[in-house]
Amino acid sequence: MHGPLYDLVLLPLIKIVVVLAAVLLIVAYLTFFERKLLSYMQVRIGPNRVGPRGWLQPIADGLKLFVKEDLVPGQAEKFVFLLAPVLIMAPALVMFSVIPFGPELWITDINIALLFILGVSSIGVYGVILGGWSSNSKFSLMGGLRSAAQMVSYEVPMGFAIVSVLLMARTLSLVGIVEAQKAAHLWYIVPGILAFGIYFICGVAETNRNPFDLPEAESELVAGFHTEYSGMKFAFFYLGEYTNMLVVSSLATIMFFGGWLRPFPNVAWLSFLDVIPPLVWFLAKVGFFIFVYIWFRGTFPRYRFDQLMAVGWKWLIPLSLVNLFVIGLGVLLLKG
Amino acid sequence: MAGPLEPLFDLEEMELSFGPQHPSTHGVLRVMLRLDGEKVMEAKPIIGYLHRGTEKLFEQETFTQCIPHTDRLDYIAAPTNNQGFVLAVEKLLGITVPPRASYIRMILAELGRISSHLLWLATHAIDLGAITPFFYTFREREIILDLFEEYCGARLTLNAMRVGGVPFELPDGWVEKCSAFIDEFPSHIDEYETLLTENRIWKKRTVGIGVISAEEAIDWGLTGPPLRGSGVKWDIRKVFPYDRYDEVEFEVPIGQAGDTYDRYLVRMEEMRQSARIIRQCLDRLPEGPVMAKVPKVLRAPEGMVYASVEAPKGELGYFLVTTAKGTKPYRCHVRPPSFINLQALPEMVKGSLVADLVAVIGTLDIVLGEIDR
């Protein structure tokens, strides 16, 4: 009933604009959410001056960063210095193109979505490394080097954890994974509890959050790779981090917690839960993981660099291999 | 060709100026680092960014006028600074302090110790990435500062002691407020310990880090928790009791391994013991005057005197030289614990990582006001 122009250009564009706006708004309010939540964990009140109960704080923050002078250090490698924040922010946003928020609520459903996300998220590492290197500051350089080693190391076990989901779902499409969980009458957290643990730990490390926030360890490296950044460029790093948290949480929800499905999607007497729309289920699950992120930050000290690597290589990689083997065997025996 | 492997490219060592503007150098300490990757090959503390010539200033002021300057040495724990100085002058002039004044001094000094240790815990934990204990410790520190304010009007630079006693009587209701705080304080220490003591990451970051043996610690002249953490039972309050410390009961906690974790445990226990001392002081607070009969203008005999107290950071000593009938010190030397404890830093961090440097600076609990004077 519509022409190809509508189907191929206009509709996707509208979807992209809506998702982008929603994601950016959510990310901005995530910073507020984190500050408030941390405050309550730390016997204080948190931002409460701008707007009612501080609700306009993220807007004020954004405005402040936006009108700040766009500063590039004299000794910096200018082009790379300007490119790095984009390399953080853009891939983080691109990943939302394949994430399904609910039934029929996605920009696109491609059959290699997981692979696409793994690939695109790896680009983010360049932003950190190049940002650290191009600043021409020793603290930034050390932050960049740390994150290079950290992100590369933690991508390996993360990949293995994802492969085990793939074995169970037999598809790389994120929509397919959710539907497979519905068909299997089971969230993958049950067989994949170990895989989930590994995935989430790696996810925390990939997003440089406590207790793995070494690339920006304030007490050691001042601000790590973004020491020399200010204004809007800093905002890109900052928002990029939160966007990545959102991606990691969304993926955890989709792969292990049934995406937009309600708990026990096949138990009939629980069908009253369907009153709550799928999108809300999805957001609630994502919100929980964001909460866990912030909870970590309020609780844990920071690992030392060599200890972090030891955790990755000596624990997570062998564990993820064992997990992969067990799940593979299970799939082979059950499905034949 | 046999032989050692040549590196493929030049491995350069990096010089890094760590501070003076750095979040975890606790003030304006600057450490010149020679780094191989993240490994510290050499660490050289550079000080003097906060030098104010306090010792020289002492020579221009009368004994009483000197006391406010002592506040600004270790500005985290002013009472012990005051105490050390007035004890030195009293020793020189042969003044006996009334018991009530002594007890008030001890209460203030121990509150100062708790406040100092709370600040140490807060910043030490933040240095190691745990941000939450900071806010909990500041909640309690606030109460202590309120008590100080109520007593003498100031919160940090107290100027709360005089040669011959203390300037003020305790205000009405102060004893009750202090008492209520001391009763609930040990439960707050348990709260901090819940967050840290058995935390795996905290242990990984502190056990076996910045180790210094008992012999080395003595050789370097370390005092205070860095010395006791290595297992040496040395506390000025016990070995050379001043004021009325011989009348109260308390333990001197010691560690064994001499690492950052043991020093942490020692300081946590010291806070409990301080609370115990304050409890006893409040219970037996004697009646009587708070000032001895001292002349308006203090005139010292010719001589030299050294008096030291157990400050939160270690042994704080004042060495005074006076001329006959002098109203001012002819020369004053301060033995600041932080300055001497800091000397051990290069040895303690050699071969460790940058992250450990931060841990060791934190565990030495330095304050630059006292190092640079």
A26/B contact by beta carbon, under 8 A: no
Give CA–CA dist B16/B43, Å, rounded: 10
Q: Which of A137, A201, A219 to mutate to test the interface with B (most CBs of B within 10 A)?
A: A219
Lateral strand order in the sheet of B314-322: B303-311, B314-322, B331-335
Q: Is A208 helix (H, G, I), strand (E, B) or coil?
A: coil
Nearest to A207 by CA among A101, A300, A127, A284: A127
Here the tokens at position A10 are 């206009």
| Sign of torsion over alpha carbons B69, B70, B73, B77 | negative
| Residues A143 and A226 occupy one common structural domain | yes
Q: What is the pLDDT of residues A120-157, one digit of tens each?
A: 888 888 888 888 888 888 888 888 888 888 888 888 89
> What DSSP string describes B291-333?
B----SS--BPSEEEEEEEEETTEEEEEEEEE-TTBSS-SEEE
**Contact B125/A307, CB-based, under 8 Å?**
no
Give the residue from chain A lying closest to B131, CA to CA: A298
| Residues A32 and A106 occupy one common structural domain | no
| Residues A4 and A56 occupy one common structural domain | yes
| Residues A83 and A49 occupy one common structural domain | no
**Highest mean pLDDT of the ranges A112-116, B34-38, B183-187, B346-350:** B183-187
Is the pLDDT reported for residue B50 higher than 60?
A: yes
Cis amide bond preceding A211, omega within 30:
yes
| Residues A205 and A263 occupy one common structural domain | yes
> How many domains is chain A built from?
2
Last residue of a domain, one of A67, A85, A111: A67
Q: What is the pLDDT of residues B298-352, one digit of tens each?
A: 888 888 899 999 999 989 999 999 888 888 889 989 999 999 999 888 888 888 8
**Highest mean pLDDT of the ranges A26-30, A60-64, B272-276:** B272-276
Last residue of a domain, one of A67, A93, A119: A67
Residues of B in contact with A42 (CB under 8 A): 131-132, 134-136
Q: How confident is the model at residue B141 (pLDDT cuts 50, 70, 90)?
A: very high
Closest approach of chain A CAs to the CA of B24, in angstroms?
5
| Residues A82 and A132 occupy one common structural domain | yes
| Residues A168 and A99 occupy one common structural domain | yes
Last residue of a domain, one of A10, A42, A67: A67
Q: Are B92 and B326 in contact (CB under 8 A)?
A: no
Closest approach of chain A CAs to the CA of B137, in angstroms?
10
In this complex, the residue of B22, B130, B196 whose CB is nearest that of residue A222 is B22
| Residues A119 and A179 occupy one common structural domain | yes
Q: What is the pLDDT of residues B268-302, one digit of tens each?
A: 999 999 999 999 999 988 888 888 888 888 888 88
Confidence at residue B278, expressed as pLDDT on a 0 to 100 scale: 92
Count CB atoms within 10 A of the CB of residue A112: 13
| Residues A133 and A277 occupy one common structural domain | yes
Mean pLDDT of chain A: 83
Closest approach of chain B CAs to the CA of A246, in angstroms?
23
Is the pLDDT reported for residue A185 higher than 80?
A: no
Give CA–CA dist B154/B138, Å, rounded: 17
Give the phi and the psi of residue B32 in degrees, each rounded to 5: -85, 120
| Residues A111 and A181 occupy one common structural domain | yes
Residues of A in contact with B135 (CB under 8 A): 42-44
Pairing of strands B303-311, B314-322: antiparallel
| Residues A3 and A80 occupy one common structural domain | no
**Contact A298/B131, CB-based, under 8 Å?**
yes
Give CA–CA dist B67/B162, Å, rounded: 8
Is the pLDDT reported for residue B1 higher than 50?
A: no
Is the pLDDT reported for residue B267 higher than 80?
A: yes
Count CB atoms within 10 A of the CB of residue B256: 11
Residues of B in contact with A305 (CB under 8 A): 38, 353, 355
Chain A / chain B CB contacts < 8 angstroms: 78
Structural domain boundaries, residue A9: 1-67
**Contact A213/B129, CB-based, under 8 Å?**
yes
| Residues A100 and A136 occupy one common structural domain | yes
- The ipTM, to two decimals, is 0.79
**Contact B129/A306, CB-based, under 8 Å?**
no
* Torsion, Cα of B20, B22, B25, B28 (10° steps): 30
In this complex, the residue of B14, B23, B139 whose CB is nearest that of residue A222 is B23
- Interior CA angle at A248 toward A244 and A249, to 5°? 115
Q: Is A263 helix (H, G, I), strand (E, B) or coil?
A: coil
Residues of A in contact with B139 (CB under 8 A): 43
Q: What is the pLDDT of residues B66-116, one digit of tens each?
A: 899 998 888 888 899 999 999 999 988 888 899 999 999 999 999 999 999
